[in-house]
Amino acid sequence: MTAVQHDIHVFPVSGAKVPAGATVTEVAAMKEALQAALGGPRGANPLVGAVILDSRGHTIATGFHRGAGTAHAEADAIAEARRRGLDLAGTTMVVTLEPCNHLGRTGPCSQAIIAAGIARVVYAIDDPHGPAAGGARTLRAAGVEVVAGVEESEALELNREWFEAVASKRPFVTLHIAQTLDSRIAAEDGTSQWISSPESLADNHGLRGLIDAILVGTQTVLIDNPRLTARDGDGHAVGRQPLRAVMGLRDIPEDAAVKGTDGNFTHLRTREPAEALSMLFEQGVRHVMVEGGARILSAFLSAGLVDELVVYIAPTLLGSGTPALQGLGIKTLTAAQHWDWDDSGGGSVRRLGRDLRLHLKPVRQGTDTPGQSHARSEEQRLSDSAMPAAHTTGGH
Ligand code: AOF
Ligand code: ZN
């Protein structure tokens, strides 16, 4: 933790001119904003929180980003203030990310801040995403006072996986597992519907509405023939539909349900997670949900290419059948993969009907929890010839 508890501090990070340091009140507001950010889901966009302070330093509005396609945190906070009939002239916006400068699906936040008459912006970390970056410059040019770098390491930690995905030009990866208490995803005879409760299925279909693509292996298509659409409780396809992606070398039957009729389908002829991700990135995918089967889940985990884990556990035992994972090339406990509870996007542990929903993020090397890199060592890889190919050296 940083020791900023008193006095005036300056945190220059952008190399740009810093007009003043942040006050103790603003640092406290930044902690509030970081907390508010956790209300949103992870994915194509970072978690972002914003707090507006009046001239006496009192919080008058709080906002956060609810995922790609929805209002940005700054706009959300401004809208809340407007709903309450507040005048924002002369106020301070404290936000966990540099306000965006682009007209994306929403925005640009820099213009919304200027238009609202906000006098001062305190933010935590620069936006690394080329098209959106540059908000600080625009704000300063319009005469808004800007302070950058407040609680910067906390803001980096908040979105560590997102920053890494942006830097390596690959989609953010959510891995989804629906399993029994004893980690089976299908019974001995191959039956797998319906392990999860209707509440878990609804939750998963909600996630499908937020992502850009959903990915399974050819094996899953050949055995389960899934549709991979986002559906409501009645089974009707609803909302924005993710790209349906299947990876693997085998051909996909003409009549496979996943092909659909809307053209929103792609076959990635590779067994390598890193290659599949770069193919998806080239097709514009910024958030992919990997749904299975066991080989694909294991290959992504082995490669250290999972940013977020969502596990639905049904209180059901099978005792035999298909295990959720096929082996991660781990031979000894010290080589185990460690995961952290992720409090964002609905929390780390939740009951959904009869099921439990667990939400986790990777433990990083160099963080304070004991853990190993999630990427497999060359030695592990060579000693495990049964694994599907996973040749990336990237990872956590
Ligand atoms: C902000 N505030 O709350 C977020 C920002 O597709 P769009 O229009 O939502 O833009 C997404 C990009 O905007 C994202 O990659 C990141 O650079 C920035 N996210 N910016 O000012 C926010 N979520
Ligand atoms: Zn924005």
Strand partners, 214: 244, 289
Residue to probe by mutation, ligand 1, list 78, 95, 97, 211, most atoms within 8 Å of CB: 97
Residues 56 and 263: their CA atoms lie apart, in Å, by 56
Instruction: Tell me if residue 272 is catalytic.
Output: no
- Any atom of ligand 1 within 6 Å of the Cβ of 127: yes
The pLDDT value recorded for residue 168 is: 96
Report CA(98)–ligand 2 centroid distance (Å).
8
The pLDDT value recorded for residue 383 is: 42
Spatial contact of 324 and 183, defined as CB atoms under 8 Å apart: yes
The pLDDT value recorded for residue 4 is: 34
Structure tokens at 296: 């694909």
- Any atom of ligand 1 within 6 Å of the Cβ of 106: yes
- Any atom of ligand 1 within 6 Å of the Cβ of 74: yes
State the Cα torsion 236-239-243-247 to the nearest 10°: -50
Structure tokens at 79: 């809208």
The pLDDT value recorded for residue 18 is: 37
Report CA(380)–ligand 2 centroid distance (Å).
43
Residues 8 and 352: their CA atoms lie apart, in Å, by 46
Question: For residue 20, how many other CB atoms are within 10 A of its CB?
Answer: 12
Ligand 1 atom nearest to 135, measured from its CA? 21
pLDDT above 70 as % of the chain: 87
Q: First-to-last CA distance in the chain?
A: 22
pLDDT tens string, the chain, 396 residues long: the values are: 333 333 344 444 444 433 358 999 999 999 999 999 999 999 999 999 999 999 999 999 999 999 998 999 999 999 999 999 999 999 999 999 999 998 777 779 999 999 999 999 999 999 998 878 889 999 999 999 999 999 999 999 999 999 999 999 999 999 999 999 999 999 999 888 889 999 999 998 888 888 999 999 999 999 889 888 877 777 787 778 899 999 999 999 999 999 998 899 999 999 999 999 999 999 999 999 999 899 999 999 999 999 999 999 999 999 999 999 988 999 999 999 999 999 999 899 999 999 999 999 999 765 444 444 455 444 444 443 333 333 333 333
Tell the residue number behind the tokens 């790609």, with chain if given.
Answer: 68
**Model confidence over 170-227: pLDDT tens digits?**
999 999 999 999 999 999 998 888 899 999 999 988 888 889 999 999 999 998 898 8
Spatial contact of 90 and 55, defined as CB atoms under 8 Å apart: yes
- Any atom of ligand 1 within 6 Å of the Cβ of 155: no
In the chain the beta strands, taken as DSSP E runs, fall at 49-53, 59-64, 92-95, 120-123, 145-148, 172-180, 184-186, 213-217, 243-247, 265-268, 287-292, 308-314, 322-323, 339-341, 349-352, 355-362
